[in-house]
Homo-oligomer: A and B are copies of this chain.
Amino acid sequence: MNYEINSRNKVLRAKERGVYDKESVYKILDAGKICHVGITMEGQPFVIPMSYARIDNSIILHGALNSRLCSSLREGIPACVTVTHLDGLVLARSTFHHSMNYRSVVAFGTAREIDDKQKKLEAAEALVEFLTPGRTTDCRAPNKKELNATSMIEFTIEQASAKVRTGGPIDLEKDLDLDVWAGVVPIKEQFGEWIAADDLKSEIDYPDYKNLY
């Protein structure tokens, strides 16, 4: 199903790279770990990196109860949430045709605070599960004090667009004969060896979900 397309989310540059269906948007969101949240306060835009989780058509965010960002978001001001994956550097034969391979989602909507206690708990767990599936079966659940200190925010996606570039450089015909290497430098996210906490009890083994990394 597609998001409604209008001037807010229509991809104007490299139009052929724009997609508007929820499935494509969700796939890019689900592959991410941080988003960049944009809000405007007194005419000044702020772009803040945040962890997130997707639940259905919503993006869950969180922060300290009295943080500026959360205070603003829960007033229901217009916001923009962007997630970007850089997949490669595209080296063309000319400076001008250099590019990048990427997948990105720009989502527009408004946010509201999650007040319901059960939903708030589910949001807190979703934030951890989104990054580390299985983790919340192991670790201690949030207590009342912790939940009270946290603002859980639900950003509902009203409109979104995804933009994707893949493949090699697109050079001018007349440049193909130049003696310069052209192609793609692939980039991917790599997980390193897990580093145990200094105070980890020695008998504790890695969890099963380690094999996901």
Partner-B contacts on A (CB < 8 A): 8, 12-13, 33-34, 36-40, 43-49, 51, 63-64, 67-68, 78-82, 84, 86, 88-89, 91-96, 98, 100, 102, 104, 106, 108, 124-125, 127-128, 131-132, 135-136, 138-143, 146, 150, 168-169, 171, 175-201, 204-207, 213
Nearest Cβ on chain B to A98's Cβ, whole angstroms: 5
Do A128 and B95 touch across chains, with their CB atoms under 8 A apart? yes
Assuming the contacts A45-B40, A47-B37, asked whether A191 and B200 have C-beta atoms less than 8 A apart, the reply is no
A194: contacting residue among B185, B190, B198, CB under 8 A = B185
Do the beta carbons of A195 and B168 come within 8 Å of each other? yes
| In the complex with contacts A13-B64, A80-B46, A142-B94 CB distance below 8 A | yes
User: Within the complex, which residue of B93, B106, B188, B189 is in contact with A139, where a contact is CB–CB below 8 Å?
Assistant: B93
Q: How far is the CB of A3 from chain B (nearest CB, A)?
A: 15
User: Is there an interface contact between B92 and A139, defined as CB atoms closer than 8 Å?
Assistant: yes
Contact status A182-B200, CB under 8 Å: yes
Chain B, Cβ-Cβ closest to A10: B68
Contacts of A128 in B (CB 8 A): 95, 98
